[in-house]
Structure 1
Amino acid sequence: MSIRSEKIVYRYSKLTPAIIMKRIKFAAMIFSISSIFPGTILSQSIIFEKLGSFLSGYEHAFAPGASAQYFDTDKVIVLNRDHFSVYNNSGDLINSFGTQGRGPGDIGRAMSYSMSENENLLMVLDHQNRRISTFNPKEGSFVETYPIDYTVNALHGLYFWHDYVTITGNHQDNNALLHFHDKSSKEYEFSVGEFIDWDITGIQFVSRSIQNQLNSGKFAKTDQGYLLLLNAPYEIRHYSDEHTLLWESTDDVIPEPWVEHIEVTPNSYEVKFYPSLVDLRELNENYFFVHWYEPIPLEDRTQWSYYADLRDLNDGSLITRKKLPFLGQIRDLKALGVQTYQVIVQEGSNYGFDEYRMKIIEE
């Protein structure tokens, strides 16, 4: 199945006049999961697209933390490292909030954000200022700040879960991935999800920066509790609401033993196989969805192949695996429901390529 060709509208952004304008394609696309699993899309239409140098920070890449979300029926909100921009379906800027800095409502360096289900609260993980800042996304107003009062080496995600705000990342005082903060008291409570035990791998030198990059993953809510996926090894764990392990499943994407595919020196490392998770989402009480890219040697990553796994929520077993109809590098992919998901694609090589495209297409 192939996505039909689309017309790209060329515009120049007024947000970053000091930056030399470069041709960046930004369109939003929603399409049916039937394009991956059984079924055929008969027609599609682009409902949002944008072009211009509105993503600041890097000449040939999205800045870290750059991501977007379709919300409030007909708007797209874009996190651009240290501020948010809101566009309508025509690609016109209608609001912007958040500024570079350390004061209330300022953002130092955003790593990710999460929006409440009713879309009335937006939480931003500010790595530089070591805090979580909250905003009203519809009004663009600052609400409050959650301080992160412990040293975190890397922050990979931010999610809502019941009465907690959860962060995935590295904690200096434990070997766990997922950290829970009480939403009312704003206090850190506990952590779950053990990382790799490097002492038993036989690898002699593993720096903190290497551990930070390998020890990453994603979190997803379920009716029974939550799913947690580790990138290395490619392992999925399902926990109950009481944080007890229901099951764990290690995939065969990385050939065993996986540690033999990591080469480490005092100044560098290379991972020959690295199935980085793009999105993890529960579809219903029986299934969940995982997106990942093909683990190929680093020197051969001029084209990236992406896959979607449909898995059994009862034990994590693979039901079917399909290749996604995209070339290039997927920067962000979110399941919006059983029938649709959103994707941001960077087309071209891993480095030195400035054609970007975010699409939201509806069937």
Structure 2
Amino acid sequence: MSLPPPDPFLRLKARGAAANAAGRFEPYERIRDSDGWDMPEEERLARTEVSEERPRSAINPVSSPDLGFDRSLNPYRGCEHGCIYCYARPSHAYLGLSAGLDFETRLVARPTAPAQLAREIARRSYQVAPIAFGTNTDPYQPIEARYRIMRAILKVMSDWNHPISIVTRGALVERDLDLLADMARRDLVQVGISVTTLDPGLARRMEPRAPTPARRLAMIRALASAGVPVRVMVAPVIPVLTEPELERILAAARDAGARAANWILLRLPLEVAELFRDWLARAEPGRAAHVMNKLREMRGGRDYVPDWDRRMRGEGIHADLIARRFAIAIRRLGLAGDLPPLDCASFAPPPKQGDQLSLF
């Protein structure tokens, strides 16, 4: 895939991608070309558009052997945070949209997901296990302030005593501290906060609409103070750009209250590779070649290797060095343990009006 040139009359304010190549399943691609007239077009701002869908199924089965969960749920498709490296960008192709600007500007909300979820977990055949949120797109991205889908989902999960895990970098998670703290007291929730860099300038260029690094550390602090088990996700680790900060990120997160940590090497599946290389050329031209050379060294000479158990960590001397640095740092900082296990035994239907309540 080669990226088309950016639209010269489209003003991009806090966007990660600059182009909008056709999705990989599309048979045709639109290319802007001059009509020969010298009349300038009117500049327009790239705005966020949100459509809605009614999912027939809320819970997604997950069969990847290198993930620690077997089901997930995504309240939204696409993500306004606009992180240029996001491995979920190619999922927009299933909607006939681009992994570029479309992924961060043409979003899909699923407001009926909480009701559909309640119906699915109420089935007699349902077998309880933790549901993972934020594994594809962020459940606390900015449009959650208007739709409040994740809050409604939390209420369903709390009522049923259903365990969940959440991964986010969205500050809106603090809005739900009341529900999360109550669920944490019943061992029903774990939260992972993604911290990629401590450099606000780099974060602004790379994750244009996500909270600043300092704000994410404040999120860890707020969650930990409320008794919610928090893991810091140093993800992705980007060679040359963020890799030197590994130990500093872990120390800052530990000081904020994180109790565990993990890391994932930069992943560039499908359309993401070209988008990321284009971003490097625009945002980090002096380091672009160095970044990609180091990454390919850990990916067998390629931009990305999707094999199970290799895609998260890479291979080779440099990948081993990052893993050793991480292991040493988490032992030194007291982050080497895991978060408390989630309780699956308490799962039960919420009491109905008139039901006899338990004394204990």
Q: Which has the higher helix share?
A: 2
Larger radius of gyration: 2
Q: Which has the higher strand share?
A: 1
Scaled by the length of structure 1, what TM-score is found?
0.26
